[in-house]
Structure 1
Amino acid sequence: MKKILLPALLAASLLAAAPASAQKKMTPGSSKASSTSYQLQPQLSTLGWIGKKVTGEHNGTMQFKDGAILVRGSQVVGGTFVVDMTSLKVDDLKEQEYNAKLVGHLRSEDFFSIDKNATSTFKITSVTPLKGDAKGNNATVKGDLTIKGITQPISFPAKTGVKNGVASATGVATIDRTKFDIKYGSKSFFESIGDKAIMDDFTLNFNVIAKN
């Protein structure tokens, strides 16, 4: 019994005497535990889109449905965002007939298949510091974007910050739609389409606000 008890007491005394930093390293998941979740504020956040074609471009908006930004100290370190695809709007076409026609086409199987895929999601996998960006961005954000049930990795620069219980991220992400099986009008797949071609890339400009 003494042979078992003495080593156990010795191990306990060594652990108690170890520095706090050493004990922290022995705690699984301690880095994750220090992150705080800030709730996304859809009414304060904005999401715009721009799609270009040979003969011009169109722009509009969508709305965030839900989400959260993960904060560690004074830094944005992660987050998940859900976009309500049914909220898709076209802003540049003022005539109701043409506006409704384009919205209907974007909602169809040719593009986002919104009746079957009412939401899209983006989950941040990493946020790394960015210096010397001419547009004032201070971070490179990487994550997984899911559109039409297809998930692809994307990366883009952004300006992130945390102040007085509010976390924010602002930036522009360029998305290759063909990676999400949106090939309609793509010259990459239909070479003879000519001036009816729609560019593969579209942009999402965002400003997300979350509160503790």
Structure 2
Amino acid sequence: MNNKISITYLILIIAPWFFGCRGTVKEENENASASSVSLHVGNDKYIMIDTKESVLTWKGSNLNGLNTQTGYVYISKGELMVENGQLMGGTVEIDMNTIEDKNHGSDNNLVNHLKDPDFFEVKKFPFATIVITKVASINDENKNVTGNLTIKGITHPVTFPAKMEVKDGIVRANGKLVIDRTLWDVRYKSAKFYDNLANQTMSDSIEFHINIVAKK
């Protein structure tokens, strides 16, 4: 995957593929790597997301499922709040300019179209964010994550299942988020807004696979 990011057609994010509730930073190691920094706020620990190892993968398709597109988008920055080995919150910022198609990279007609006003209007809205507001434990590994997803300046709550592991100072989390793109004003070839599209109708559902690595 070459460390690439899963928000279709982002449609997406994600992040942008991951998470919220950030407190006031009291201590920061300014000499630490930008991709792996540990911050402490009282009894809470903020662990910076490693942007080189984390990836958000998107998947979109026609309504009939015959034409499927998959690609990546990169996390520009983010942090997870972990307390006593449990995910408590966090934030993820996704750089929409980094959208890529799995088979053809970042310089192709599909990606250029995804950046247009038809889809994500990246020039006006270069970043998407996910802010985690609640984490409910199903068991030690499986969680239900609730947060606010912002795309194109529009924010809606989302809830998705995720798995999380904390081991040797490394947090690994992955989840699957499916959104209705039209809620974020991504209307291109949606049957909700256009008639007589026939086989060209695109599914309103966008699937994101979020893989996050954060380190002390």
- TM-based fold match above 0.5: yes
User: Structure 1: how far apart are the matches of 2:132 and 2:173?
Assistant: 12
Q: 1:33: how far off?
A: 3.4
Please say if residues 130 and 138 of structure 1, whose CA atoms lie closer than 8 Å, have aligned partners that are also in contact: yes
User: Structure 1: how far apart are the matches of 2:100 and 2:130?
Assistant: 20
Q: For 2:109, which of 95, 98, 101 is the aligned residue?
A: 101
Q: Percent identity?
A: 33
For 1:43, the equivalent position in structure 2 comes to 52
Q: For 2:181, which of 149, 167, 177 is the aligned residue?
A: 177
User: Structure 1: how far apart are the matches of 2:169 and 2:121?
Assistant: 37
User: Structure 1: how far apart are the matches of 2:172 and 2:153?
Assistant: 27
Which residue identity is paired with 1:123?
A: V
Query: 2:169 matched to 1:157?
Result: no
Query: 2:80 matched to 1:69?
Result: yes
User: Structure 2: how far apart are the matches of 1:93 and 1:58?
Assistant: 11
Please say if residues 141 and 163 of structure 2, whose CA atoms lie closer than 8 Å, have aligned partners that are also in contact: yes
Greater helix share, structure number = 1
For 1:194, the equivalent position in structure 2 comes to 198
Change (3 A) 1:185 1:80: same
User: How big is each residue's C-alpha offset from its partner over 1:142-162, in whole Å with a ceiling of 9 and x where there is no partner?
Assistant: 000000011110010000121
**Structure 2, unpaired ranges of 5+:** 1-40
User: How big is each residue's C-alpha offset from its partner over 1:104-155, in whole Å with a ceiling of 9 and x where there is no partner?
Assistant: 1100000000111111000000000125xxxx96000000000001111001
Question: Once superposed, what is the RMSD of the aligned Cα atoms?
Answer: 1.8
User: Structure 2: how far apart are the matches of 1:168 and 1:142?
Assistant: 18
Please say if residues 120 and 145 of structure 1, whose CA atoms lie closer than 8 Å, have aligned partners that are also in contact: yes
User: Structure 2: how far apart are the matches of 1:63 and 1:196?
Assistant: 28
Which residue identity is paired with 1:148?
A: K
Structure 1 window deviating more from structure 2 (75-84 vs 50-59): it is 50-59
Which residue identity is paired with 2:69?
A: H
User: Structure 2: how far apart are the matches of 1:45 and 1:65?
Assistant: 10
TM-score (norm: length of structure 2)? 0.76
User: Structure 2: how far apart are the matches of 1:51 and 1:195?
Assistant: 15
TM-score (norm: length of structure 1)? 0.78
**Structure 1, unpaired ranges of 5+:** 1-31
SS in 1 for 2:166: strand
| Structure having greater relative contact order (Cα 8 Å, sep ≥ 6) | 2
Q: For 2:61, which of 48, 52, 60 is the aligned residue?
A: 52
Q: 1:92: how far off?
A: 3.1
Which residue identity is paired with 2:48?
A: Q
Which residue identity is paired with 2:60?
A: G
Moved over 2 A (4+): none
SS in 2 for 1:83: strand
SS in 1 for 2:109: helix
Higher gyration radius (CA): 1
Please say if residues 137 and 171 of structure 1, whose CA atoms lie closer than 8 Å, have aligned partners that are also in contact: no
Aligned length: 174
